[in-house]
Amino acid sequence: MTTPEARVEPPIAHSTVRRHIEEFVLIVLVVLSGIGVAINDYSPQSALRYWLWMAPTFGVVSIVAAWWRAARRDESVVVALQRQVLHWAAAVGAVYLIYLLQSTGRMANEAAGLAALIVIALSAFLAGVHTDWRLMVLGGILALTALGFAVLEQIIWIVALPAMVIIVIVAAMYIRGSRHAG
């Protein structure tokens, strides 16, 4: 008589929870990146510190993804981690160089924030090529966010300037009309 084999089922609930956590973290990173661009427009000194913390934050997420992927595929975890550390150290260096250009007057404040976001977007995308496809999606979203901020700033002035002119004209006409009526 044989004994029934114990079946080990994969922890579906655990993988679903982990996937939801990963997706939540990616959404938070997108929101934090948008905040970084806004901070850059109002406080360039704070923006440098912000982006120099954000790049390693993205790096940690990428390193964890690389660790999980290497462990699942029986690859060298140490090699995967070394690659990601070098990858994100280069991203931090690039962000620092952007703000060095900004501090020397070679780059405008607004451009520095967008450039930092583009560096992080590219770094996230390339990290996703090597680790987790969700980081590629995150990089794409961040790139679109940078594009959106760049276009939005132009659209605001295209819409706001004529609106201000119209408001001034309408106010002048109202004031002129009330003087003639009274």
pLDDT of residue 104: 92
What's residue 94's pLDDT? 94
Output the pLDDT for position 114. Answer: 85
User: At residue 109, does pLDDT exceed 50?
Assistant: yes
The whole-chain average pLDDT of the chain stands at 78
Q: Measured between alpha carbons, how far is 160 from 140 in angstroms, rounded to an integer?
A: 29
C-alpha dihedral sign at 45, 138, 126, 76: positive
**Angle at which helices 12-42 and 133-181 cross, to 10°:** 40
Per residue in 10-56, pLDDT tens?
555 556 776 777 777 777 887 887 787 777 667 767 877 888 888 88
pLDDT digits 0-9 by tens, 65-95 = 888 888 888 888 899 889 989 999 999 999 9
Check residues 47 and 107 and name the one with the higher pLDDT. 107
Share of the chain above pLDDT 70, in %: 77
Residues 153-172: tens digit of each pLDDT: 666 556 655 766 777 677 66
Confidence of residue 9 (pLDDT cuts 50, 70, 90): very low
**In the numeric block, which tokens belong to residue 33?**
């990146």
For residue 181, the model assigns a pLDDT of: 63
Residue, of 3 and 55, whose pLDDT is higher: 55
Residue 151's pLDDT is what? 79
Whether the pLDDT of residue 59 is over 90: the answer is: no
The secondary structure of the chain, three-state, reads: CCCCCCCCCCCHHHHHHHHHHHHHHHHHHHHHHHHHHHHHHHCHHHHHHHHHHHHHHHHHHHHHHHHHHHHHCCCCHHHHHHHHHHHHHHHHHHHHHHHHHHHCCCCCHHHHHHHHHHHHHHHHHHHHHHCCHHHHHHHHHHHHHHHHHHHHHHHHHHHHHHHHHHHHHHHHHHHHHHHHHC
